[in-house]
Structure 1
Amino acid sequence: MHFPWGTGEVEDLPTVGTAVDTLPDPSRSDDPPGVRLRTARARARAFREEFALTGAPDTITTCDLVTLPYPTRFGLFRASRAIAPFLSITNRMLVIRWRESDGRPRVLLFEPSDVELGRSTPYFHDLRRKTPRGLERLVVTEHGTVLGHLARLGIRPADVDYLMFDHLHTQDLRRWVGTRAHQDDLGARPRAAFPHAKVIVQRDELAAMADLHPLQRPWYQPAAYRDVLPEAFAPIDGSVVLGPGVAVVKTPGHVFGNQSLVVNTSTGIWVSSENAIAAEALTPEHSRLPGVAGWARQWQQEAVLNANTVETTADQYNSLVLEKTLADRSQRDPRFLQFFPSSELTPARTNPGTTPTFTHGHITHGPTTHGVKPA
């Protein structure tokens, strides 16, 4: 797959945010993984202190998009003893609003997945092909669309400034940012639903997508990016602060250019990514999921990875430790952290042995808007 722009053009694209000096890019380190682990923990502690001083966004609202099956062996890497081959995860979008120091309003959509086009991801396309339609209707639930949720929140798509994903697995952005050519599968040249939004992405992920490794190919839709305009992207290197209480932290491992959303709220600091699919994956000693606590004790592991990709497993583990060091304890149950999986483990009667011990379900911060209830 080839992007329609060269490496030099990517380098020339405008970036966003203020670089975080206390969190240098871990993927640039030549240290062995064990040293990187200690460094990640220490630097996360330092960043916690400075990040809390940046303030907080005005509001955060959670919007459910879809609940779907996902292999247990991926979501609870090596730890689960559940008999169910699949568990359920719920994909959610976070809508974050703040004001710049000059009063300008900002809107960030975190994980605004186009669920319909996401079905063409090779892995999920193959899974759907093998699944009877009656069973699919039983195990897949669509809760709402990105544009539908925004309409209920009273947010115009033209007022959205940033789109951000922890990584671009399964994502097809053509309807969100438009294309420069007719798309045969869509029957049109899509106009950008978000005409002023920039996609915040790590340069490392754009570079990886330009020449995918076989381990990566089942999870990306590279053809969907062939005609997307390069100026739709705002590539960053490492970690940045976007606004008061809103940061992007580079957390490589799940993919080379993985990144996490970090937000400061009335209940403290939250971290969101898909490096893990449950809050208990960061404190597995408190998990009641079959096998998880015992596995963590036996192998002296302090985190359970979401490991559908294994390009850089040690880096993913180190990133989870960084995330758990950043996050505050849950006020509902202090055994668990305010780690909000962008795809959260969800109980389902069809999946015995995969009912989570604890779920967040939503992040809510600031006044409730337009009567929209969090999921």
Structure 2
Amino acid sequence: MIPMRMPWRQGDVLDLASIGSRVDSLTDLSTIDGGPGARLTAVRTQAQAFRREFIETGTPDSVTTCDLVTLPYPTRFGLFRASRAIAPFLAITNRLLVIRWHESDGTPRVLLFEPSDVELGRYTPYFDKLAGRTPDVVSKRMVTEHATVLTHLARLRIDPSEVDYLMFDHLHTQDLRRWIGTTAPQPDLGEQPTPVFPRAKVIVQRDELAAMADLHPLQRPWYQPGTYRDVPPEAFLPIDGSVVLGPGVAVVKTPGHVFGNQSLVLNTATGVWVSSENVIAAECLTPEHSRMPGLARWAREWGQEVVLNANTIETTVDQYNSIVLEKTLADRSQRDSRFLQFFPSSELTASWTNPGTSPTFTHGAIAHH
């Protein structure tokens, strides 16, 4: 297969100071002597050190969560090998997070985390094939579109021109052409889109951009690489590792689900939150407290403390270790201390059509003002 041409160069360099400060306490775990067990021990120590530093940075002005779409997802992916549910599919709700803060010089910032273009995301190869095999009457029952990114921003009185950063934990399913524009006409869109977010930069790990330039067969069902042919390279801010963006706002590299996976970490009035798609339910970080069929037993019998979201198993050990990093960073929920303030960017959602997959606990939203 011919490698996909991408709009960035391998040698591109970013001045990290332009988007915050590098996190030195979280290092590249591949440099740790020993095997994956040694890296797991190191990740706990590093996470504790970073957590102490991070809470001293302050809190953002506000964090708001916005429902975008609820859709089906294979149970064997979302709950890995742990679930004993009879339902082949479960439901997940994709949510946008809107984070606002001020820089030390008073400059206001707006970050959109997981601003998915739901309409174009459905053409991701896996979901496109699934839709083709699903009758319309069934699809309408299984998919609920709540509101668009722009509808939510209008409700929050945020003009798209005010948005500084777009960020995803990874670029599975994402088509960014409407958001950041293109350098050439797009036949499927009927025009050459002007950017909806004219000043926004896409924060992404350099590792993921490199992987997208020549996708492995295990990766191809989940990306839309062709949609990146004509996007402007200057719209991307490729980073290496973890960065504090502002008071109480950080990007932490969490490889595994994809090589360049990254998590959003927030310090709020209720403590530290972490958000990513490494797991699909808060109880997947503490499966011993789950009432879903199979999870607690599986964790006990296999001696594993987390349940992965495993549609792509690029580096399973690294994903496990990354989830433990997230688990170490997050505070316990004030609603139920058995569970952590981990907010899945795609959260498991109860549905009568999917017996055995109703979560024991859900966050539903983060509201920090």
Amino acid at match of 1:11: V
Question: Is the contact between residue 27 and residue 252 of structure 1 (CA under 8 Å) also seen in structure 2?
Answer: no
The 3 A distance-change label for structure 1 pair 319 and 98 is same
The 3 A distance-change label for structure 1 pair 30 and 227 is farther
Secondary structure of 1:144's counterpart equals: coil
Q: What is the aligned partner in structure 1 of residue 272 from structure 2?
A: 269
Q: What is the aligned partner in structure 2 of residue 90 from structure 1?
A: 93
Deviation at 1:186, TM superposition (A): 0.4
Q: Deviations 1:124-183 (Å, cap 9, x if unpaired)?
A: 000000000000000100000001100010000000000000000000000000000000
Q: Deviations 1:79-132 (Å, cap 9, x if unpaired)?
A: 000000000000000000000000000000000000000011000000000000
Alignment map for 1:310-325 (pairs within 5 Å)? 310-325=313-328
Q: What is the aligned partner in structure 1 of residue 195 from structure 2?
A: 192
Alignment map for 1:85-234 (pairs within 5 Å)? 85-234=88-237
Q: Deviations 1:285-335 (Å, cap 9, x if unpaired)?
A: 000000000000000000000000011000000000000000000000000
Deviation at 1:4, TM superposition (A): 3.2
Q: Which runs of 5+ in 1 are unaligned?
A: 367-375
Secondary structure of 1:7's counterpart equals: coil
CA distance in 2, matches of 1:70, 1:91: 11
Deviation at 1:45, TM superposition (A): 0.5
Question: Is the contact between residue 16 and residue 236 of structure 1 (CA under 8 Å) also seen in structure 2?
Answer: no
- Pick aligned residue for 2:341 from 325, 338, 341: 338
Q: What is the aligned partner in structure 1 of residue 81 from structure 2?
A: 78
Q: What is the aligned partner in structure 2 of residue 356 from structure 1?
A: 359
Number of residue-to-residue matches in the alignment: 365
- Pick aligned residue for 1:11 from 6, 10, 13: 13
1:299 aligns with 2:302: yes
Deviation at 1:21, TM superposition (A): 0.5
Secondary structure of 2:152's counterpart equals: helix
TM-score relative to the length of structure 1: 0.96
Question: Is the contact between residue 14 and residue 239 of structure 2 (CA under 8 Å) also seen in structure 1?
Answer: no
1:51 aligns with 2:54: yes
Deviation at 1:28, TM superposition (A): 5.0
Q: What is the aligned partner in structure 2 of residue 370 from structure 1?
A: none
CA distance in 2, matches of 1:290, 1:163: 37
Q: What is the aligned partner in structure 2 of residue 255 from structure 1?
A: 258
The 3 A distance-change label for structure 1 pair 144 and 30 is farther
Q: Which runs of 5+ in 2 are unaligned?
A: none
Secondary structure of 2:227's counterpart equals: helix
Secondary structure of 1:280's counterpart equals: helix
- Pick aligned residue for 2:248 from 241, 245, 248: 245
Q: What is the aligned partner in structure 2 of residue 373 from structure 1?
A: none
When structure 1 is superposed on structure 2, of 37-46 and 25-34 the one drifting more is 25-34
CA distance in 1, matches of 2:201, 2:344: 23
Q: Deviations 1:233-255 (Å, cap 9, x if unpaired)?
A: 01111000000000000000000
Q: Identity, % of aligned pairs?
A: 75
RMSD: 1.0
Secondary structure of 2:41's counterpart equals: helix
Secondary structure of 1:166's counterpart equals: coil
The 3 A distance-change label for structure 1 pair 80 and 38 is same
CA distance in 2, matches of 1:17, 1:132: 48
Deviation at 1:27, TM superposition (A): 4.5
Deviation at 1:12, TM superposition (A): 5.5
CA distance in 1, matches of 2:244, 2:116: 23
CA distance in 1, matches of 2:209, 2:15: 12
Question: Is the contact between residue 290 and residue 353 of structure 1 (CA under 8 Å) also seen in structure 2?
Answer: yes
CA distance in 2, matches of 1:130, 1:99: 48
Q: What is the aligned partner in structure 2 of residue 288 from structure 1?
A: 291
Q: What is the aligned partner in structure 1 of residue 332 from structure 2?
A: 329
Q: What is the aligned partner in structure 2 of residue 372 from structure 1?
A: none
Question: Is the contact between residue 257 and residue 314 of structure 2 (CA under 8 Å) also seen in structure 1?
Answer: yes
CA distance in 1, matches of 2:143, 2:204: 28
Deviation at 1:17, TM superposition (A): 1.8
